[in-house]
Chain A
Amino acid sequence: MAKRPGGELATRPLHFIWIADCSGSMAADGKIQALNTAIREALPHMRAVADENPNAEVLVRALSFGNGAHWHCSQPTPVADFKWTDLLADGLTDMGRALRLAAEQMHMPPMTDRALPPVLVLISDGQPTDDFASGLAQLMQEAWGKKAVRIAVAIGRDADTEVLQRFIGHPELKPLLANDPESLVRHIKWVSTAVLKSASAPASQAGGLPAGQNVPIPTPPVVPTDPQAADDVW
């Protein structure tokens, strides 16, 4: 075959970022351990979904927030190579700072306009102790921040679901409520598989229509309605 016109071909990057609450309250009742376990157990499923669509290059990162916010894994890492290092819980709930860190990475560059919509997963068991509003505003100032698939998981009954709803930004999509380790595992797996699969599809979405999202979010998993039946309830 004659030389193909054009430059180097490349699959489209899909950035997936865990934004995890590591405040002191996450140390109570095994919440941080449950989160570590849930993410670690979800990784093989995430890799399987990524393998189904070789035209999307799934790149995973994680940032944590407690006293300030820090990149737990700062390099966009191919999901095949991504390994989870346990988070430790301590300190406050500086969620706004975490969103500012995420916002910096949604800027172009380092993002490119050919990327697939990034997936941002915010997981928290409490209320922000810093300026959440300005952090969210900074994120939403970035074109990719606005276009990102933003999912929130509320751990336990003390989680501020109103703040998480503001992060999601779509009234039809609610924070996922995880009141026990089992439901946390289920939600993390859903985000890692169903949401990832939807975000990595090349299908275009018509804008300017009611209920418009640039990625159709699949139906979240059904969690047990009687949390009292579980042994560990947060």
Chain B
Amino acid sequence: MSGKPVSGGAAGPWHWLSASVRGAAHHRSGLPNQDAVRVARCPLPDAAEGTDAPALVLALADGHGSARSFRSREGARLAVAVALRAAAGLPPSSAPSRRKRWAEEQWPTTLVRGWQAAVAQRLARRTFTAAELDPLDAPGRAAVASHPALAYGSTLLGVIVTPEAILYLQLGDGDLLTVGVDGTVARPLPPDARLLGNETTSLCAPRAAEDVRVYCQTLAGAPPALILAASDGYANAFRDDAGFLQVAQDLWDLLRTGGEAAVRPHLRDWLAEASQQGSGDDISVAILWRAAPIAIASTAADPSPAHQPPRTAPCTNS
């Protein structure tokens, strides 16, 4: 099987794996994989102060892959790069209220502006070619001419894991799931009713920062044993939502009982099968899990079980 191998690593109690496969539909059409995903250790201010602050940042972007977003593969890669850099702006752990405020107020704008600046830079270096524009119809060319960032359109999922809190961010389609130590699957952010029928909010939208949704989960509650981020091609590959939620639970069971070796060798095959027999879309995942999860008493700040409405509203940036 071609493509990048599964990536993985560890930082403190957290381990991670990430993988991305080209969708079956893109195999047929000749379009490359439009997703990008990466998990990395996060340089936090605490580290500069000499404290041991293992932290991780996860970024997963899904380039739109539509005719008008003909550079969306590049847009997704820029999104991931910008997200990894932006995490460095997180205030130190000694100021938890500042961290929450940063996540709600600055994280979305930092990401959107950073991505838009990166796109503008790329565009200045390499303007659109006739080969890129010729396949578009007149309205498509007009849309790209008036809004060039559309060519790079991408979604973005982001997670920053620190010893004290986990920050979740979502712009556009895709899924973030957590699994508790007891196996309960939850969505840190509730589904966005606007995202139906392939329409998505996007980094390329003029008011993208307002569409970013953020949730701050303090680890004073029950820390998740596993966090799963996935592009929408994964959930769309299952007959129903329950089948997709089962993925997170099954992964946790496999990792808990068999460790990384129970998942890593098979992950790309599983994703490819889901694309071929399901959505046909590119599928990317990043999995973070705690090697030795500790059950801590639950608090109201924890995300809600996936089948129920959230107990607390997410920190929506608006």
Contact = CB atoms under 8 A, between A and B. Distances in A.
Interface in B183-240: 191, 193-194, 196-202, 204-207, 211, 232-233, 235-240
Interface string B245-261: 01100110010000000
Given A56-B280, A204-B232, A211-B143, A9 B25 contact: no
Given A202-B280, A203-B66, A9 B238 contact: yes
A205 interface: yes
B64 interface: yes
* Interface core residue of B211, B236, B275, B281 (most chain A CB under 10 Å): B236
Contacts of B243: 6-9
Given A8-B239, A10-B239, A53-B280, A214 B198 contact: yes
Interface string B143-184: 100110010010100000000000000001100000000000
Contacts of A210: 143, 146-147
Residue among A3, A5, A7, A116 with the highest chain B CB neighbour number at 10 A:
A5
A9 B198 contact: no
Contacts of B197: 115-117, 144, 147-148, 214-215
Interface of B: 23-25, 28, 62, 64-69, 137, 139-140, 142-143, 146-147, 150, 153, 155, 172-173, 191, 193-194, 196-202, 204-207, 211, 232-233, 235-244, 246-247, 250-251, 254, 262, 266, 269-270, 273-275, 277-281
23 contacts: A4-B273, A7-B243, A10-B239, A11-B279, A11-B280, A55-B25, A114-B238, A114-B240, A116-B198, A143-B196, A144-B196, A148-B197, A202-B280, A205-B66, A206-B66, A206-B150, A206-B204, A207-B194, A208-B201, A209-B143, A209-B204, A211-B142, A216-B137
Nearest to B211: A208
B278 A55 contact: yes
Contacts of B278: 9-12, 55
B234 to A, nearest CB: 8
A214 B206 CA distance: 17
Q: What are the 3 A-B residue pairs with the smallest beta carbon separation, nearest first?
A: A7-B243, A55-B280, A5-B250
A10 to B, nearest CB: 4
B270 A208 contact: no
A204 B244 contact: no
Given A5-B251, A7-B242, A209 B65 contact: no
